Structure 1
Amino acid sequence: MTGNLPADIADVLAFVLNTDEPVHVALRKQIPHLSVRSRCACGCGTAYFELSTSEVEPAPIGPGTVVAADAQLVTETGECPGEVLVFAQGGYLSWLEVCSWSDDMEVNLAAARQWLHPPS
């Protein structure tokens, strides 16, 4: 289903867009059609998407750029070192951003994935 996306990106998108809100439902339908156009060179894990808009419907969010979904990252000790943001432009998935709020803790996509899915 997400053969064009690396597993880490597909996993984080699935977690952050995991609600029954119409916008999230529509954006999840776009995931199988996404590919990564580029990634941030700093190592944070931010990824910019390529999407064939002729194959999917836009999410009902309007023409501009919006934060379509977000998730705060919470460590095992309860600290919040950053967040993950999912951006859409004109109703289409555009990029996934990994943001750090801390100079004391490395925040990247691998860490975000772990903090979003803590071990049981």
Structure 2
Amino acid sequence: MMEGLPADVAEALAAVLNADDPVHAALRKQVPHLSVRARCTCGCGTAYFNLDTSKAQPAPTGPGTVVAAEAQLVTEAGECPGEVLLFTQGGYLSWLEVCSWSDDIHVTLAAARRWLQAGS
């Protein structure tokens, strides 16, 4: 389903897009037509997407930019250092953002994947 994406991005998308949610299910159908256009240069792992909209239907997220999925990150110690947000624009996947809530912990997509998998 996510063969064309880097492993870290594919795993994060799989973790935040719940197959039981109708909006998330519609977004999952876009993933085969998705590629990473750019990555944040700070090392956090945020990824900006290109999507072939001629091959994908928009999800019912509403117009404009919307946070279509989010996952709070919880460490093994029970701390919440940040979150992963998945943005859409006009119903199409747009970017995956990795957010740190503190300057004390630098959250990366690699760490987020580990915490997301532990919480599953």
TM-score (norm 2): 0.95
For structure 1, list consecutive stretches of 5 or more residues without a partner in the other structure.
Answer: none
Q: Kindly tell me: are residues 114 and 47 of structure 1, through their superposed partners in 2, closer, same or farther at Cα, counting changes over 3 Å?
A: same
Give, as a single letter, the amino acid of the residue that structure 2 aligns with 1:112: A
Residues 76-110 of structure 1: CA deviation (Å, up to 9, x unaligned)? 00000000000000000000000000222220000
The more displaced of 14-23 and 35-44 is 14-23
Residues 39-79 of structure 1: CA deviation (Å, up to 9, x unaligned)? 00000000000000010110011221100000000000000
TM-score (norm 1): 0.95
Which residue in the other structure is 1:55 paired with? Answer: 55
Which residue in the other structure is 2:116 paired with? Answer: 116
Secondary structure of the residue aligned to 1:94 is: strand
Q: List aligned pairs for 1:81-120, cutoff 5 A.
A: 81-118=81-118
Q: Give the Cα separation in 2 of the matches to 1:21 and 1:31.
A: 16
Q: Give the Cα separation in 2 of the matches to 1:112 and 1:15.
A: 10
**Percent sequence identity over matched residues?**
75
The answer to whether the aligner puts 1:38 opposite 2:38 as a matched pair is yes
Report if aligned partners of 2:74, 2:119 keep a CA contact under 8 Å in 1: no
Moved over 2 A (4+): none
